[in-house]
Amino acid sequence: MSLSSDQAAESLKQIDRTGRRSAQAWSYANSSPFFVMWGVVWMIGYTGSDLYPRYAGPLWLTLSVAGVAGSMMLGRTRARAGEPHPGTNRHAGSRFVASFLAIGAFVAATYAIFGHATPAQQAAFTPLIVALFYALLGIWKGLRFLVTGIAVAALTLGGFFFLHQHFMLWMAAVGGGALVLAGLWLRKV
């Protein structure tokens, strides 16, 4: 049996199509627990910020450190299970910390340039940066990341402009909820 050029080209297309879907599904599945965990972090952080606004700063600092530590632990656990996250290798721990510090430095520099930001503005700014990262990731890696980024950005802006009084609770329920749902969605093939 020998194949025609058209049959060979069709087989190569099929290989490419299936390979891309497989790589994407793998990337989604490995990202899923990180989305769920950070969704829960957002829920706790925004709810706490609404109930105890005076302690919002220390609360977010604690949650952020816990989130980074949790991300590192998740990465290690998955690496042990033979399902390493794309960023999980021997430098993953320091990369998580460095990424977090880079985002923190960017946020601090932005506040320094633009002056005083209200708690609501601060609460909206970081999710917009997160949404931007997801959108960029989505443009390169897969539609579901892009959809998540757009959803987080739209929900953040919607809450900021139309539900200003209850913005923190809105972000807890809808912003955190969106991340958790996105994490569950990413698990599905």
The pattern of x and - marking residues 128 through 167 that bind another protein according to CB under 8 A reads ----------------------------------------
Task: Name the H helices within the chain.
Answer: 5-51, 56-80, 92-114, 119-141, 143-162, 167-170, 176-187
Q: Is 113 in the site for another protein (CB under 8 A)?
A: no
- Shortest Å distance, C-beta 32 to another protein: 12
Nearest to another protein of 58, 86 (CB atom): 86
CA distance to 6, 12, 13, 16, per residue, from 2 (Å): 12, 15, 18, 21
Kindly identify the residues of this chain, within the stretch 13-32, that bind another protein according to CB under 8 A.
14-16, 18-23, 25-26, 29
- Do residues 187 and 32 make contact, with C-beta atoms less than 8 angstroms apart? yes
Q: Is 189 in the site for another protein (CB under 8 A)?
A: yes
Give the C-alpha separation, 189 to 172, whole Å: 27
Buried b (16+ CB within 10 A) or exposed e, 109-133: eeeeeeeeeeebebbbbbbeebbee
Binder of another protein out of 5, 90, 112, 118 (CB under 8 A): 5
- Shortest Å distance, C-beta 84 to another protein: 7
Kindly identify the residues of this chain, within the stretch 43-102, that bind another protein according to CB under 8 A.
82-84
**Residues engaged in binding another protein (CB under 8 A):** 1-5, 8-9, 11-12, 14-16, 18-23, 25-26, 29, 82-84, 189
